[in-house]
Homo-oligomer: A and B are copies of this chain.
Amino acid sequence: MANAPDWLPIARWLPRYRRADLLGDLGASIVVAVLLIPQSMAYAMLAGLPPVTGLYASTLPLLAYALFGHGMTQSVGPMALTSLMTASALAPIIATGQDPLAAATVLALLCGAMLIAFGLLRLGRITRLLSLPVVSGFTSGTAILIGLGQLGPLLGIRITGEQLPEQLAHWLQAAMQLQPAPLGFGLVALGLFWLVGEALPRLLQQRALFSRLLPIVVLVLLTRYAHTHPQLAKVGPLPSAELTLSWPTATLDGIAELWLPALLIGLVGYLQSLTIAQTLAQQRGETVDPDQELLALGAANLAAGSVGGLPVSGGFSRTAVNAGAGARTPMAGVFTAGWIVLAAATLGDLLALLPKAALAATIVLAAFKLIDLHQLRASWRYDRRDGAALIATLAVTLLFGAMPGIASGVLLSLALYIHRTSQPQIVVLGRLPGTEHFRNVERFDTETWPQLTLLRLDENLYFGNARAVEDGVLARLDADTRDVVLVLSGVASIDYSAAGMLDKLDTTLAARGIALHLAELKVPLQQRLAANQLLGALRDRSFLNAHQAVIALLSAEPSTKNPA
């Protein structure tokens, strides 16, 4: 179906849908639905919303992604990171006594609208603003917040305060409230889920389907036990589970309050989805268009908002389960959605019995797996600046919450890059004897000439380093210098400010009787300069490479040799 439009992938795979696909998708949909039901409810609670919103968010969004998504086995829904960010976005709303539910849907709608807008503008590259250290620091930070935040429900105590400092302040009095029964239940739940979710599969050296379903068995057992122990908190009755398309009228100041959180949630969720989709696509020898993924995830979030859910994104664990359970096409997601609607409609009173501590235990374990200290060590060892960016993002996230964390992380890594390039290395070149190659005179045994100075600029020239380059070049000249050759092999772009600097430098040097030349000027730059009066004079003194510059500027014998 080569004539199927790129923006509607379903038109490509649906016509080729086979019976084998159906079987695989159906099987997977059941597994995922069973896992998704408690998980979505847990993540809704994590976001500070009624558990049922998590179920809503696991219905229509899957259909929307199935229509537009390139990731064939991608499974979308509420995720830990985005749910925590949602919680911190809703905190002020709740504080002012507004309805968090309406705000969450506005958040999802804004999220979706922005992602779709980015997709139409083909801004798939936008996630490149998130450097590895920032993403890693942010993920670990939020994971810690998530884990600590769930210790309350897990151990049956109330811990208020969304950020770490407030939470710690509450720990002491919280510890006082500890009751043996809920405490024991929580710890047992944690242990059991760890056993069947982590230890056992590692022991079995494989992730067979049955091992995937063991957590559900544990959940059922815990629910049974909790049922007979009223002092253990339950999820409680769900509101009537008929899905109603409720499109909230977003007030303007609501939007003004929520657009930035929505942007950050969208960005983080998108980065996560894209990474998963591309990883799985690579395994299947397929590709995922970043811009298409923006559209798909945007549609999924619009859908989430329109059914009164919270922002959604692709999730590592659930997508792995979906693929592992044999899903072949996004149709698996459609089936999953169907099962969830069915469950919400029929199992309402059963789901109401789920003990909150059990759901909390699954979140704590999921969060714990997100903490990545290896990145911290590795990045710090690789480059202090990268390590610092990671630590700063982590610290800000822990101290001030998810939003400030990711925002300051992005700004910091931008600032660091500008700082990196603001003091370019300026290398004095000499010729490797008997070759046409020129190298750093301080590092190689090279020939040089007193009246001729060859300088290699190892950075793009732009406003951020123009003056540093000017000063650096002037500092490297001595009395007998008559010709200076700037070797621009490392310069891919020269912005207007830097071009002005070169013009000025040429004049300054000419006044001292020194001629400025260029070498290895990249062709795009030659063309740019050719189209301008700017640097016109310099253009005529530009050589193909350092070798030809030397040949042209002198036929003298090497006058000095400096040791390596």
A interface list, Cβ under 8 A from B = 125, 128-134, 282, 378-379, 381-383, 385-386, 413-414, 417-418, 420-422, 424-425, 435-437, 440, 443, 458-460, 462-468, 489-493, 495-497, 499-500, 508, 522-524, 528, 531-532, 534, 545, 547
What 8 new A-B contacts, CB under 8 Å, besides A132-B500, A437-B547?
Answer: A125-B467, A128-B422, A132-B496, A379-B496, A382-B532, A382-B534, A425-B492, A443-B523
Chain B residue numbers with a CB within 8 Å of A385 are 495
Q: Is there contact, CB below 8 Å, between A492 and B381?
A: no
Q: Is there contact, CB below 8 Å, between B492 and A417?
A: no
Nearest chain-B residue to A492 (Cβ)? B458
Q: Is there contact, CB below 8 Å, between B528 and A460?
A: no
Q: Is there contact, CB below 8 Å, between A437 and B132?
A: no
Nearest chain-B residue to A413 (Cβ)? B463
Q: Is there contact, CB below 8 Å, between A128 and B466?
A: yes
CB < 8 Å neighbour of A128 from B282, B436, B463, B532: B463
Q: Is there contact, CB below 8 Å, between A128 and B492?
A: no
Q: Is there contact, CB below 8 Å, between A489 and B490?
A: yes
Assembled-state Cα–Cα distance A123/B532 (Å): 34
CB < 8 Å neighbour of A459 from B436, B492, B532: B492
CB < 8 Å neighbour of A378 from B128, B421, B495, B534: B534
Show 17 residue pairs from A and B whose CB-CB distance is below 8 angstroms, ordered by the A residue: A125-B467, A128-B465, A128-B467, A131-B497, A134-B463, A378-B496, A382-B534, A385-B495, A417-B418, A417-B463, A421-B460, A425-B524, A436-B436, A437-B545, A440-B523, A459-B460, A459-B492
Chain B residue numbers with a CB within 8 Å of A424 are 492
Chain B residue numbers with a CB within 8 Å of A437 are 436, 545, 547
Assembled-state Cα–Cα distance A465/B131 (Å): 10
Assembled-state Cα–Cα distance A532/B440 (Å): 24
How far does the Cβ of A528 sit from chain B's closest Cβ, in whole Å? 7
The answer to whether residues A128 and B464 also contact, given A382-B532, A489-B489 and a CB cut-off of 8 A, is yes
Chain B residue numbers with a CB within 8 Å of A128 are 422, 463-468
Q: Is there contact, CB below 8 Å, between B458 and A522?
A: yes
How far does the Cβ of A347 sit from chain B's closest Cβ, in whole Å? 43
How far does the Cβ of A427 sit from chain B's closest Cβ, in whole Å? 9
How far does the Cβ of A380 sit from chain B's closest Cβ, in whole Å? 9
Assembled-state Cα–Cα distance A463/B531 (Å): 32
Nearest chain-B residue to A423 (Cβ)? B125
Q: Is there contact, CB below 8 Å, between B422 and A382?
A: no
How far does the Cβ of A101 sit from chain B's closest Cβ, in whole Å? 35
How far does the Cβ of A426 sit from chain B's closest Cβ, in whole Å? 11
Central interface residue in A386, A413, A490, A508, by most chain B CB within 10 Å: A490
CB < 8 Å neighbour of A133 from B425, B468, B489, B497: B497
Nearest chain-B residue to A497 (Cβ)? B132
How far does the Cβ of A322 sit from chain B's closest Cβ, in whole Å? 24
How far does the Cβ of A507 sit from chain B's closest Cβ, in whole Å? 11
Assembled-state Cα–Cα distance A523/B439 (Å): 10
Chain B residue numbers with a CB within 8 Å of A418 are 129, 414, 417
Q: Is there contact, CB below 8 Å, between A464 and B417?
A: yes
Assembled-state Cα–Cα distance A436/B434 (Å): 12
Nearest chain-B residue to A382 (Cβ)? B496
Nearest chain-B residue to A427 (Cβ)? B522
Q: Is there contact, CB below 8 Å, between A499 and B382?
A: yes
Q: Is there contact, CB below 8 Å, between B425 and A381?
A: no
Q: Is there contact, CB below 8 Å, between B436 and A531?
A: no
Q: Is there contact, CB below 8 Å, between B532 and A381?
A: yes
Chain B residue numbers with a CB within 8 Å of A532 are 378, 381-382
Q: Is there contact, CB below 8 Å, between B463 and A130?
A: yes
How far does the Cβ of A495 sit from chain B's closest Cβ, in whole Å? 6
Chain B residue numbers with a CB within 8 Å of A436 are 435-437
Assembled-state Cα–Cα distance A491/B420 (Å): 12
Chain B residue numbers with a CB within 8 Å of A528 are 382-383
Q: Is there contact, CB below 8 Å, between B440 and A131?
A: no
Q: Is there contact, CB below 8 Å, between A496 and B425?
A: no
Assembled-state Cα–Cα distance A79/B499 (Å): 29
The answer to whether residues A133 and B496 also contact, given A381-B531, A437-B545, A489-B490 and a CB cut-off of 8 A, is yes
Chain B residue numbers with a CB within 8 Å of A531 are 381
A-B CB proximity, top 5 nearest: A131-B463, A386-B496, A132-B497, A458-B492, A379-B496
Chain B residue numbers with a CB within 8 Å of A414 are 414, 418
Central interface residue in A386, A440, A467, A492, by most chain B CB within 10 Å: A492
Q: Is there contact, CB below 8 Å, between A420 and B382?
A: no
